[in-house]
Structure 1
């Protein structure tokens, strides 16, 4: 006759406890060596239970626990005895009669041993290295009291809540929404990863890459495909407690769920004392399943008692980024009219921002929040929201060591007054930067050429010739942000700190596709000199790092300098473009003068501006300062004034010459202009004398 299987796990557990109760009653009799009826009935019940377990089609927690921890029959029965005394009042009273208190080791041995030889054998049940104690299934008190761990009791009774000591440390992963192959273009490697998750052999796999690269998503997707449960363990939180105990509890929880363990923030373990890693490595080696490690950087542990493998998750290439953007973008109905074309928008964002899938998701979430803050009604996204959402993903390197340059108030590159040759150089540079995504990523030149796929340009010229303005307009025309690197913040007197700061800037700029602008670049990229003291050696090492990092950088870097001759020659050889910004000639200066005045202000006559342009060979930046000085003096003093005359501009030119330390002579200014400037200087000197006398 075929036995029916158990309908559920609790029904099976009740029958097992009834069997243990028979063994406990057998202990209460004086058997004189003969097998009691209770023990005989318990043995027959065990045969019946075995047949029903074999016929069961539902998961039974007790047999699963026995298999997971490798318990033999004596260890299983000792565990059940502890459970019986907790859940059955009659059995608890009988235990009290037999042991004068709770379950003890001695009582457990008498209960699970059929004869003297069995009792001698069962002493191994409670060996320190045995599974009951090694995994913390039961606790033996110094008094000999034997107690079932609370988590094990709750598990057998149907609860999946983790041990209270693991709250905030362990959580079960939600099912992934994408296949592992979507995060790993190499499908063979994705299949190999899935195979590792299916195996019942110890192994450790490090998934390393930048935050947002999809390491957790890949772990979850792999476990879904392997049909395995995944437990995330926060290493930082785990280290706040007793590390060995916490590791043991984590793997105990994993065995209860037949789960793969994934340690996040694994650098927290490896950066500490060696024994922290040793504890984790040996626990993973004793666990017959894959252990995943998630970290930011690649590393190779000195000690790994089982297989140790590594997979890097880098920034996706342009096609994959475009696919991720297209999959995650809200539908056109979520955008303000006219809604952008989803394919074009995805391609633009993918080319502009070298983001990981996690960063793409966070950018869209941030953009949606910005749209909701802007309008109390139904939120309607703008493409500017998405760009701002992307900017807010920037790391602290750009925030701490660089400043985003503001917009240029509607100006374009066409508004710059430059010689034909310089304008062509600037146009070619803009084309090169704009086409980088297609040439390097889409057409595959990045794979072919390796390093040096970014764009490195130098703007040379005296101050005020438009180098900074050109960099701003270039970035705006390409739809990217320009960050001006703060050399004062980035350079440190401590050895190695400058390189560390620069690395943060380059890393953040690389993944956000921000354009970097180094003003006064000759201060940082100066020629290397002969080593005469230790400081010279460290300075040369800093330059070597800079040259290497600039060459590896995949974005755009603009260097501006007034002293090209002082720049390290090795850097000059790495430049892709050099744009010269010479002092403007008279015709160019006339155009600059004419373009300085807003429509609301009446400037001098064109002939008068032409005279200024011809007489004063100053830069565009100097002309800007002159016009602003005149505007504040004339228009700021009289709210009704709307015109700036020639005399006011000439006086401001004189003030600019004084500021620059240039001589003011009749030959340079002409008799009339010289008189105007002299009168202004005398008036200022008179006011200074009057103020001094009053003091």
Structure 2
């Protein structure tokens, strides 16, 4: 069983055996030093020397063989290089990764010896002339290494900028003492690593750090990282960070589009990854860079030869970037914020714009869902629904698709059914993790196209809006039909019509058809009397909508998208600035938005030019009003003859008013414990007429 790993720790024939072999050589040096100290020492026979460790005791301890030592180290390779006859020598590897000299290694081994072999403690107590000081001091470590604190070069190895201390391999304690008598300690994580323990540093537990071992990654196939260009980009990046300790900043356009592909490609080239998610509440100021978990994180990456993938960066990321960049470890930062040259000017940070992260996703979805379905026995994927159409509205990166596929499989298993479009779309919405709830009201769509009563023209335009949202990546991206000037890939439509004609309901239907949530922007939470605050509030909404998959609805949009006017006062000037900002923001918008207005003439012509579709919602005619009444009363218990034809002709109500009248009729019938009657319908319609301030027709029924 030699060399096997149990619980993450190599056996005596592995890394621990190599370390014990080196300590056996150190023991010989300690024995020789004890012999020199005791020979000719007039106090050697004093039973109180070192309190109770006598020379004879020290000789006996020094002569004791090293426990579990599996081999001897050749003298010329005792400190640097790979141990002869041992399969793993982590000390030699550590020396290369941290740039340690032979003297550094001697000091390090002298300092860690008591942490591995307790018999070093009384020996060090004897050599320190104080049984209470059972760790190596600076003077003792240097003496064991064949030099002393009188040598400037030797003292320099304990400088905070020297490899041992800057790499956090060695702690020099007792700052109040002179340097020669200060005690040395090696952090437990370093000792454990040299013994073969591959577990994550306990200091990093609960700090947002995840260890991902090298391998093929978690992708479903060779194209899991996305399209060819995107895969090539991340492949070049992985090769670069694998060659040298470079710091890279990737600006991502959509949240979650970078971490997965970077991690997969780095692992694919055979390197482990330490994925660090900084707490978004931190300001990024980590002092001198040695704060936790930054110091332990850098040390862990260097011990493992790992690549750090850090992000998304907090709002003020300067301190964090300075702490991690230029630390002899490859690190990839990412986030939506643009690169700031002041973050780490001395580190030579390479700033790149990441690909969009949106992929031709149907094949990736099919592969991931197929793997999940096969593993769980959920049946064929894409057998009962069009997978391409179901996932087209979602702009997810490969890693997000992978997580969404697992979540969809779990939902299907919970329901006890094969995978459906609803399972896939629900899991995809969860991956967007929208934060729009802070600024808008979420509506879960519950109405389909069969619930709409509209003329053929606006109904056809709504279907076209759905198609634009589904195929925008192909048309604007793949086919290159997006114009220049920094225009985004967003889809923006204007719904114009009188109140109650179905504008908001239609937006809900479009969102439901796309499998998206609808977010209604509360203008009361957006418009602010202070100059510039309205634009800031709108920017937060637009930025979040850009990064998530949802349909954004600006109800009564003329409140913020109104016409610009001639400047006659400071109020006019600032109002025009607000409109100018919105014009520019719509140009770069990447999401899906619907603006509604009761007065189309109030919308600035410049906004209209930037709209993809304008849908006019006419006031319903008599035939449409009949259909609306029937649609509203579909699930309600009704009398045989409701006289809907006559009611629709008599009362000219919009769809919203008909809905309210039907609700009133339902309450009247429920109060009597009877089905809805013609009188209830008429009473509800009359109620709506009164609310609108219109003349109410005679209360006598006009139908039999």
Q: Which TM-score applies when normalising by structure 2? A: 0.76
Task: Measure how far apart 1:325 and its partner are.
Answer: 0.9
* Equivalent-residue separation in structure 2 for 1:512 and 1:164 (angstroms): 35
Q: Displacement, 1:242?
A: 8.3
Structure 1 residues 251 and 20, CA gap change in structure 2 (3 angstroms): farther
Q: How much does 1:100 deviate?
A: 0.9
The C-alpha deviation readout for 1:203-243, integer Å capped at 9, x for no partner, is 20123436763533334334334433333345439978985
Q: Is the contact between residue 79 and residue 138 of structure 1 (CA under 8 Å) also seen in structure 2?
A: no
Q: Does 1:401 align with 2:439?
A: yes
2:506: which partner in 1? Answer: 470
Partner of 2:677: 643
Question: Quick one: structure 1 residues 90 and 434, their matched pair in 2 at CA, closer, same or farther if it must change by over 3 Å?
Answer: closer
Asked if 1:582 corresponds to 2:628, the answer is no
Hey, what's the Cα distance between the residues in 1 that align with 2:347 and 2:327? 9
- In the alignment, which residue of structure 2 is the partner of 1:564? 600
CA distance in 2, matches of 1:475, 1:95: 74
**TM-superposition CA deviations, 1:244-303 (whole Å, max 9, x none):** 2444443333333233333344326x44xx65544x15xx3241x422223343322313
The Cα of 1:590 is off from its aligned counterpart by: 5.3
Is the 1:456–1:558 Cα contact (8 Å) retained in structure 2? yes
Alpha-carbon distance between aligned partners in 2 of 1:340 and 1:128, rounded to the nearest angstrom: 59
1:553-597 Cα shifts (integer Å, max 9, x gaps)? 344432221111222221122223322223344555455556665
Of 651, 654, 664, which residue of structure 2 is paired with 1:619?
Answer: 654
Tell me if structure 1 keeps the 8 A contact 2:665–2:681: yes
SS of the residue 1:463 aligns to: coil
Per the alignment, residue 329 of structure 1 pairs with 369
Change beyond 3 A, Cα 1:300–1:643: same
For 1:391, the equivalent position in structure 2 comes to 429
Residues 1:532 and 1:368: Cα distance change in structure 2 (over 3 Å): farther
Task: Measure the CA separation in 1 of the matches of 2:647 and 2:153.
Answer: 109
Distance in 2 between residues matched to 1:651 and 1:326, nearest whole Å: 54
Q: How far apart, CA to CA, are the structure 1 residues paired with 2:650 and 2:22? A: 103
Structure 1 position 218 matched with structure 2 position 266: no
Q: Is 1:207 paired with 2:239?
A: no
Aligned partners of 2:80 and 2:102 also within 8 Å = no
Unaligned runs of 5+ in 2: 1-12, 42-61, 63-72
1-structure distance, mates of 2:100, 2:80? 19
Which deviates the most, 133-142 or 455-464?
A: 133-142
Structure 1 residues 98 and 578: alpha-carbon distance in aligned structure 2, compared to 1, 3 A threshold: closer
Name 1:9's counterpart in structure 2: 18
Q: Is 1:488 matched with 2:524?
A: yes
- What secondary structure is seen at the aligned counterpart in 1 of 2:688? helix
Deviation at 1:351, TM superposition (A): 0.6
Sort the Cα spacing of 1:495 and 1:92 in 2 relative to 1 into closer, same or farther, 3 A.
same
| Number of residues of Structure 1 aligned to a counterpart in Structure 2 | 635
1:513 Cα offset (Å)? 4.2
**Residue 290 of structure 2, aligned match among 244, 260, 283:** 244
Residues 586-644 of structure 1, C-alpha deviations (whole Å, 9 max, x = no match): 555455556665484246586xx5555555444343344444444543x2343345531
Distance 1:232 1:241, change over 3 A: farther
**Is 1:193 equivalent to 2:193 in the alignment?**
no
Matching residue of 1:552: 588
2:89 to 48, 60, 74: 60
Aligned to 1:657: 689
For structure 1, the residue ranges without an aligned partner over 5 or more in a row are: 1-5, 33-37, 39-43, 678-695
Match of 2:271 among 224, 228, 231: 228
Assess, with a 3 A threshold, how the Cα gap between structure 1 residues 380 and 104 changes in structure 2: closer, same or farther: same
Find out whether 1:145 has 2:182 as its counterpart: yes
Given that 1:516 and 1:556 are in contact with CA atoms closer than 8 Å, whether structure 2 keeps it comes out as yes
Separation in 1, partners of 2:241, 2:348 = 13
Structure 2 vs 1, CA of residues 612 and 146 (structure 1 numbering), >3 Å: closer, same or farther?
closer
Contact kept? 1:517, 1:558, Cα under 8 Å: yes
Q: 1:365 aligns with which of 406, 415, 423?
A: 406
Determine if contact 1:318/1:442 at 8 Å carries over to the other structure: no
Tell me which residue corresponds to 1:132: 164
**Per-residue Cα deviation, 1:431-487 (whole angstroms, up to 9, x for no partner):** 544554543345443488962643332222222333333333444455544433322
Which has more radius of gyration? 1
| 8 Å CA contact 1:394, 1:508 repeated in 2 | no
**Bigger CA drift: 234-243 or 520-529?**
234-243
For each residue in 1:409-444, what CA deviation from the matched residue of structure 2 results, as whole angstroms up to 9, or x when unmatched? 66627x5243x5545555554554455454334544
2:391·2:425 contact (CA, 8 Å) conserved in 1?
no
* Structure 2 counterpart SS, 1:392: helix
From the superposition, tell whether residues 19 and 492 of structure 1 become closer, same or farther in structure 2 (CA, over 3 Å): farther
SS at match of 2:552: strand
Task: Give the equivalent residue in structure 1 for 2:50.
Answer: none
Once the two structures are TM-superposed, the CA of residue 31 in structure 1 deviates from its matched residue by 9.9
Aligned partner of residue 392 in structure 2, secondary structure: helix
C-alpha distance in 2, partners of 1:605/1:574? 46
* 1:182-218 deviation digits (Å, cap 9, x = unpaired): 4263354334323322323x42012343676353333
Match of 1:514 in 2: 550
Q: 1:83 to 1:261 in 2, by over 3 A?
A: same
User: Which of 102, 110, 121 is equivalent to 1:73?
Assistant: 102
Displacement of 1:510:
4.6
The secondary structure found in structure 1 opposite 2:196 is coil
Counterpart position of 1:108: 141
Q: Is the 8 Å Cα contact of residues 454 and 624 (structure 2) preserved in structure 1?
A: yes
8 Å CA contact retained: 2:254, 2:547: no
Corresponding residue for 1:440? 476
- Over 3 Å counting, the alpha-carbon distance change for 1:508 and 1:112 in structure 2 is closer
Match of 1:28 among 32, 37, 58: 37
For 1:569 and 1:494, the matched residues in 2 are separated by 26
Assess if the C-alpha contact under 8 Å between 1:626 and 1:653 holds in 2. yes
1:354 aligns with 2:395: yes
> Cα–Cα, structure 1 residues 649 and 105, in superposed 2: closer, same or farther, change >3 Å?
closer
In structure 1, C-alpha distance between the alignment counterparts of 2:477 and 2:307, rounded to whole Å: 36
Q: Which residue of 2 aligns with 1:156?
A: 194
- What TM-score, normalized by structure 1, do the two folds share? 0.77
Measured after TM superposition, the shift of residue 328 of structure 1 is 1.3
Asked whether the equivalents of residues 445 and 511 of structure 2 are also in contact (C-alpha less than 8 Å), the reply is: no
- Note if contact 2:257-2:357 (Cα within 8 Å) is conserved in structure 1: no
